[in-house]
Amino acid sequence: MKFVLSKYAVFLFLIFTVNCTKKVENKAVSDVKSSNSIQYARGLEIYDYDTYSVVKVSNPWPEAKESFTYILHKKGISVPDSLKKYTHIQVPIHSIVVTSTTHIPSLEMLGVENTLLGFPNTNYVSSDKTRALIDAKKIKEIGTNQSLNTEVLIDLAPDIIVGFSIDNNNKTYSNLEKNGQKIIYNGDWTEQSPLGKAEWIKFFGALYGLKDKADAQFKTIEKEYNEALALAQKTTTKPTVFSGAIYQEKWYLPGGKSWASLFIKDANAHYLWEETPETGSLSLSFETVLEKAEDADFWIGPAQFTTLKEITDDNPNYHFFKAYKNKNVYSFSTKKGKTGGVLYYELAPNRPDLILKDLIKIMHPEVFPDYELVFFEKLK
């Protein structure tokens, strides 16, 4: 499944907690051992100390060979000498620029969307709350991820810019840093675990001094996901599933260890390519897919198509699939914001519990008889 997002980042914070009844003095804090509070995300670590936190992002883009460490501290507090080589951020922050639609739900869940000053290609934003801020000219257009408008960003002067990158060629961010801007990479999109992606809300919780609120939001999502997972595992049938569609003469579909594939597995269905080792996409011929998936029960996520007619207008050979004949084709491309942004690309990584419930409803409708699909829709 394709994401319209900016991506890959590495990030290390230090968050300060101080006694609010006393004036904070500018004194160094001694190093003390702490454990990583992140459970599912593989590219994020957060270490909480008495007066600061350390956040590490180790996979800002695929196969990244570098990681980033950021020190988050409250005003008037200095950190141990061993940490002074890292970028320091004073928290809580009060203004931000983000560069991926997946960042927006975290801001909204924490109630800090009003601190968002700029976003690249604002038409991709689907959320009603954030769209209202865009329409009110409170969030400025800053170009595209490949060509950010540095003049606008410097003029906005946010406390931090949360960046995303597909590789280590980040000249725009380097130029912004030279002009005094604070850049923090976010690597939520490289996570493959459904709960791992969602856990990145804690990244924003650390920045805003809202650790407890971020933890509570994530615990609710985790609970809902695991409860749905347990119900799915009790079902007695295991339908077969395929995904994707043809693009430029190749059929692109999720690899067996990808985020999308893991949802199908957790919904107690058999994804026909679940044994493949890829965490990204597979590129196959139409004939290869037809041979394996001709009799599959469901076709989930047929790329950009929003009707059955669109599918066979694009390629009449799609009608050979049993799932197409039986109208068991479900897409997330039908649900869009008012400017055309696809809701799935924005909210789904943050709400894996809703994706899982959608898939269970589709393939095991008896489990959630009164549930209404959030992201997916049966094509007509």
CATH number of the domain residue 173 falls in: 3.40.50.1980
Average pLDDT over residues 26-34: 50
Provide the terminal-to-terminal Cα distance of the chain, rounded to the nearest Å: 21
Q: Are 290 and 233 in contact (CB under 8 A)?
A: no
Do 217 and 291 belong to one domain?
A: no
Q: Which comes out higher in pLDDT, residue 27 or 234?
A: 234
Query: How high does pLDDT run on average in the chain?
Result: 91
pTM over 0.85: yes
Average pLDDT over residues 43-53: 91
pLDDT-based confidence at residue 24 (cuts at 50, 70, 90): very low
Q: For 75-125, what is each residue's pLDDT tens digit?
A: 888 888 899 899 999 999 999 999 999 999 999 999 999 999 999 999 999
What residue numbers bound the domain in which 213 lies? 44-221
Encoded amino acid at 53, one letter: S
Do 182 and 98 belong to one domain?
A: yes
Do 62 and 199 belong to one domain?
A: yes
Do 192 and 303 belong to one domain?
A: no
pLDDT at 32: 56
- Examine residue 258 and state whether it is found in any structural domain, yes or no: yes
Q: Any residues with CB less than 8 A from the CB of 195 and at least 6 apart, and which?
A: 39, 40, 221, 222, 225, 352
Do 242 and 183 belong to one domain?
A: no
Q: For 188-209, what is each residue's pLDDT tens digit?
A: 999 999 999 999 999 999 999 9
Number of domains, the chain: 2
- Examine residue 15 and state whether it is found in any structural domain, yes or no: no
- Examine residue 100 and state whether it is found in any structural domain, yes or no: yes
Tell me what percent of the residues of the chain surpass a pLDDT of 90.
82
pLDDT at 77: 85
* pLDDT score of 22 more than 90: no
SS3 of 37-87: the string is CCCCCCCEEEEECCCCEEEEECCCCCCCCCCEEEEEECCCCCCCHHHCCCE
* pLDDT score of 13 more than 50: no
Do 53 and 113 belong to one domain?
A: yes
pLDDT at 168: 87
* pLDDT score of 232 more than 60: yes
- Examine residue 9 and state whether it is found in any structural domain, yes or no: no
